C-alpha cells in the first residue's frame, strides 16, 4: 500500500511539474534585463494584493478604494 | 505527551530527490526572475518544514477544541496571531519609513461571513485548511490530492462568481491601524487576544481539571536530531511561523497568502482547456490579469506554495513519515470532494483562508480577519457535527 501511495503522489506531483513547465515555456521569456525590470515593476506596483494605493483594488472590483491591499485577493 | 524516542528511518531517496528539486528550482527562479523570487521559494520550503515537523494545523486544533475542549492547538494559533501582530502592526503602520508593507485587507460584509462559514465546514470535511492541505499533500497523503484538486476547482468557480458576492451588503475594507493608529489598535487587539486565550484555557481546565502545557510536548535529549527529524513541540512551530511570516511581509510586501494561487492555477488550466477566463471580471484587470498572462513561476504565492509542498515532503522524508499507509475509502473520497469545493469557493468569497484572512488579516489589522474567524469557527462546529453524522468520528461523549 505504501508503495502504491508513493506512486500515486509521485505521479501527481510529476504531472503538476510538467504543467508548470508547459505554462512557463508558453509565456514569452523576456531577456534577463527586461525580466529584472519587470519583476521590480511588479513588486512595487502590482502585487497580488493591489499594493499600489492608486491602483485598482486587489480584487480589481472596486477601483475607488485607495486603501487597497494585497489582500483582497486574498489569502 | 510523547516522550519515547523511536528509531527514525529516514527516506533517503525522497530526501535526495527533494533537495535536488529545491536546488534546481531555486537556481531557475534566480535565473529567470530574480534573487527575491528564489528566496521566497525557500521561505515556502521553511514554512512546509515547520508545518510538517510541528504538525501545526488549524483544522485539527479546532476539532480537538470543539469535541473535547483540548485547547493546545487553538492556544498555539492565538499565540501565533499575538506574536505576528506585535511584529506586523508597527511595520504596516508605517513606523519604519524605509519599509513598504501592506495589510491584508478585505471588505467586511456578507461575502466574508458566508465564504468563511463554508470554508470552516470544508476544513473539517476536506481534512485541512489552506496551509494544512498543502503540507499534507507534501507529506504524501493521497486523499489530500483529491481535496487540493477540488480546492482549486472551488477557488476557480469562486473567482467567476465573485463580482456578484461582492455586490452583497458590506461596509468596505476596515483597517484598525488606519482607524485607531497602530499602537492603540495593537493594544486593543492584544487585549482581545489575551482574553480569548484565557477563555479557551478556562474551558479546558473546566472540562479536564488541568491545562496541557506546551513544554510537556515531545522531548528529545538530542536537540539537533529533533531539529532535523522532528517531531517538534508546537511552540517551535509558533516561533518559526512567526519569524518566516515576518520575512514574507518584508520581502513580498504583504502578509503570507495561499489561496490566490489555487484560483490562478485553476484559471490557467481552464484557459488551457479552451475556456475564456480572461473575460471573467476577476481575471480581466489588475494583478489577477497580469498573473494570468505570465508564467505561474512569476507569481509569488504560487512559488511559495510549491515551496510548502516540497518543504513538507522533505520533513516527512526526514521523519520517515512520507506517503503514509492507508486505504482510500469511498466515503473519504466524497468528503474530500465536497470539502475541497467548499474550501476553494469559501476562500475566494472570504478574501482568504486561515493564513491570508485569519493570520494575515488579523495580524495586519484588517477587521475582516476577525469576522472570518467567527464565521469559519461557526462553520467548523457544523463540519465537526457532520463528521460525527457521517461516522468519521465518534459522538462527542464517546471521546471523553
pLDDT in tens, B32-45: 999 999 999 999 99
pLDDT confidence of B6, banded at 50, 70, 90?
low
Average pLDDT, chain B: 94
- Residue B326 has what pLDDT? 78
Please report the number of interchain residue pairs, chain A to chain B, with beta-carbon separation below 8 angstroms: 192
User: CA–CA separation, B212 vs B228, rounded Å?
Assistant: 25
Calculate mean pLDDT across residues B312-328.
91
Question: Tens digit of pLDDT for each residue in B71-92?
Answer: 999 999 999 999 999 999 999 9
Contacts of B301 in chain A (CB under 8 A): 48
First to last CA, chain A: 35
Taking CA–CA distances from B360, the nearest residue in chain A reads: A75
CA distance A49 to chain B (A): 7
Q: Please name the helix (run of DSSP H) or strand (run of DSSP E) that holds residue A70, with its range, or none.
A: none
- Residue B3 has what pLDDT? 45
**Which three-class secondary structure string do you get for chain B?**
CCCCCCCCCCCHHHHHHHHHHHHHHHHHHHHHCCHHHHHHHHHHHHHHHHHHHCCCCHHHHHHHHHHHCCCHHHHHHHHHHHHHHHHHHHHHCCCCCCCCCCCCCCEEEHHHHHHHHHHHHHHHHHCCCHHHHHHHHHHCCHHHHHHHHHHHHHHHHHHHHHHHHHCCCEEEECEHHHHHCHHHHHHHHHHHHHHHHHHHHHHHHHHHCCCCCHHHCCCCCCHHHHHHHCCCCHHHHHHHHHHHHHHHHHHHCCCCCCHHHHHHHHHHHHHHCCCCHHHCHHHCCHHHHHHHCCCHHHCHHHHHHHHHHHHHHHHHHHCCCCCCCCCCCHHHHHHHHHHHHHHHHHHHHCCCCHHHHHHHHHHCCEHHHHHHHHHHHHHHHHHHHHHHHCCCCCCHHHHC
Question: How far are the Cα atoms of B262, B268, B317 from residue B273, in angstroms, in the given order?
Answer: 17, 9, 35
Taking CA–CA distances from B353, the nearest residue in chain A reads: A75
As given in the structure block, the three cell numbers for residue B126 are 476536506
Calculate mean pLDDT across residues B214-242.
87
Q: CB distance from A66 to chain B under 8 Å? A: no
Nearest to B160 by CA among B259, B257, B263: B263
Nearest to B121 by CA among B338, B330, B332, B329: B338
Residue B346's contacts (CB-CB under 8 Å, 6 or more residues apart) are B114, B115, B116, B117, B118, B119, B120, B121, B122, B154, B158, B379
Is there a contact between B286 and A2 if contact means CB atoms under 8 Å apart? no
Contacts of A42 in chain B (CB under 8 A): 290, 298
User: CA–CA separation, B106 vs B108, rounded Å?
Assistant: 6
Q: Rounded to two decimals, what is the model's pTM?
A: 0.89
User: CA–CA separation, B380 vs B388, rounded Å?
Assistant: 12
For B356, the closest of A42, A61, A75 (CB atoms) is A75
Question: Tens digit of pLDDT for each residue in B194-210?
Answer: 999 999 999 999 999 99
C-alpha B134: how far from its chain's center? 8
Contacts of A22 in chain B (CB under 8 A): 272
Secondary structure letter of residue A14 according to DSSP? H
Domain spans of chain B, in order of start: 12-399
How many alpha carbons lie under 13 Å from residue B222 in its C-beta half-sphere? 10
Question: Tens digit of pLDDT for each residue in B344-387?
Answer: 999 999 999 999 999 999 999 999 999 999 999 999 999 999 99
Is there a contact between B286 and A58 if contact means CB atoms under 8 Å apart? yes
A residues 24-63 lying closer than 8 A (beta carbon) to B = 24, 27, 29, 32, 35-36, 39-40, 42-43, 46-51, 55-62
- Residue B91 has what pLDDT? 97
Return the minimum-mean-pLDDT range out of B135-139, B373-377, B396-400.
B396-400
What percent of chain B has a predicted confidence (pLDDT) above 90? 90
Return the minimum-mean-pLDDT range out of B52-56, B282-286, B326-330.
B326-330
Question: Tens digit of pLDDT for each residue in B119-129?
Answer: 999 999 999 99
Is there a contact between A48 and B140 if contact means CB atoms under 8 Å apart? no
Question: How far are the Cα atoms of B188, B276, B291 from residue B267, in angstroms, in the given order?
Answer: 40, 9, 10
Taking CA–CA distances from B37, the nearest residue in chain A reads: A39
Tell me the angle at which helices B12-32 and B35-53 cross, rounded to the nearest 10 degrees: 150
Let me know how long chain B is: 400
pLDDT confidence of B217, banded at 50, 70, 90?
low
- Residue A71 has what pLDDT? 43
Question: How far are the Cα atoms of B119, B350, B387 from residue B373, in angstroms, in the given order?
Answer: 10, 11, 20
Calculate mean pLDDT across residues B270-297.
94
- Residue B314 has what pLDDT? 97
Question: Tens digit of pLDDT for each residue in A34-67?
Answer: 555 555 544 444 445 433 333 333 433 443 443 3
- Residue B151 has what pLDDT? 98
Taking CA–CA distances from A52, the nearest residue in chain B reads: B102
Return the minimum-mean-pLDDT range out of B4-18, B150-164, B269-283, B361-375.
B4-18
Which residue has cell 506596483?
A45
Amino acid at each position: 500500500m505504501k508503495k502504491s501511495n508513493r506512486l500515486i503522489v509521485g505521479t501527481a506531483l510529476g504531472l503538476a511539474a510538467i504543467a508548470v513547465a508547459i505554462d512557463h515555456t508558453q509565456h514569452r521569456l523576456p531577456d534577463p534585463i527586461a525580466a529584472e525590470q519587470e519583476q521590480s515593476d511588479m513588486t512595487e506596483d502590482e502585487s497580488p494584493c493591489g499594493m499600489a494605493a492608486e491602483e485598482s483594488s486587489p480584487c480589481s472590483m472596486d477601483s475607488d478604494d485607495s486603501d487597497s491591499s494585497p489582500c483582497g485577493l486574498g489569502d | 505527551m510523547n516522550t519515547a524516542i523511536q528509531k527514525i528511518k529516514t527516506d533517503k531517496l525522497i530526501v535526495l530527490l527533494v533537495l535536488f528539486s529545491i536546488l534546481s528550482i531555486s537556481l531557475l527562479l534566480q535565473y529567470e526572475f530574480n534573487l527575491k523570487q528564489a528566496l521566497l521559494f525557500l521561505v515556502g520550503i521553511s514554512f512546509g518544514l515547520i508545518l510538517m515537523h510541528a504538525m501545526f494545523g488549524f483544522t485539527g486544533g479546532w476539532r480537538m477544541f470543539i469535541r473535547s475542549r483540548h485547547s493546545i492547538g487553538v492556544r498555539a494559533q492565538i499565540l501565533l496571531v499575538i506574536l505576528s501582530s506585535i511584529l506586523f502592526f508597527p511595520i504596516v503602520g508605517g513606523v519604519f519609513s524605509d519599509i513598504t508593507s501592506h495589510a491584508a485587507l478585505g471588505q467586511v460584509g456578507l461575502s466574508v461571513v458566508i465564504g468563511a462559514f463554508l470554508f470552516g465546514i470544508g476544513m473539517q470535511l476536506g481534512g485541512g485548511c489552506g496551509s494544512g492541505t498543502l503540507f499534507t499533500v507534501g507529506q504524501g497523503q493521497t486523499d489530500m490530492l483529491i481535496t487540493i484538486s477540488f480546492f482549486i476547482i472551488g477557488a476557480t468557480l469562486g473567482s467567476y462568481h465573485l463580482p456578484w458576492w461582492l455586490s452583497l451588503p458590506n461596509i468596505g475594507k476596515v483597517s484598525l491601524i488606519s482607524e485607531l493608529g497602530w499602537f492603540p489598535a495593537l493594544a486593543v487587539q492584544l487585549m482581545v487576544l489575551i482574553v480569548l486565550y484565557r477563555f479557551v484555557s478556562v474551558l479546558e481546565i473546566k472540562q479536564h481539571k488541568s491545562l496541557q502545557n506546551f513544554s510537556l510536548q515531545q522531548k528529545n535529549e538530542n536537540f539537533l536530531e529533533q531539529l532535523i527529524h522532528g517531531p517538534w513541540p508546537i511552540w517551535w512551530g509558533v516561533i518559526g511561523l512567526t519569524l518566516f511570516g515576518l520575512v514574507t511581509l518584508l520581502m513580498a510586501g504583504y502578509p503570507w497568502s495561499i489561496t490566490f494561487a489555487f484560483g490562478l492555477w485553476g484559471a490557467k488550466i481552464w484557459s488551457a482547456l479552451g475556456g475564456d477566463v480572461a473575460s471573467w471580471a476577476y481575471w480581466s484587470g489588475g494583478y489577477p490579469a497580469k498573473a494570468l498572462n505570465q508564467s505561474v513561476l512569476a507569481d509569488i504565492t504560487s512559488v511559495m506554495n510549491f515551496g510548502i509542498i516540497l518543504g513538507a515532503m522533505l520533513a516527512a522524508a526526514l521523519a520517515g513519515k512520507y506517503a503514509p499507509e492507508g486505504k482510500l475509502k469511498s466515503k473519504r473520497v466524497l468528503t474530500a470532494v465536497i470539502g475541497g469545493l467548499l474550501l476553494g469557493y469559501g476562500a475566494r468569497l472570504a478574501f482568504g483562508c486561515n493564513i491570508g484572512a485569519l493570520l494575515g488579516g488579523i495580524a495586519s489589522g484588517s477587521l475582516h480577519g476577525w469576522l472570518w474567524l467567527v464565521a469559519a469557527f461557526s462553520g467548523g462546529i457544523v463540519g465537526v457535527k457532520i463528521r460525527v453524522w457521517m461516522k468519521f468520528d465518534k459522538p462527542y461523549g464517546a471521546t471523553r
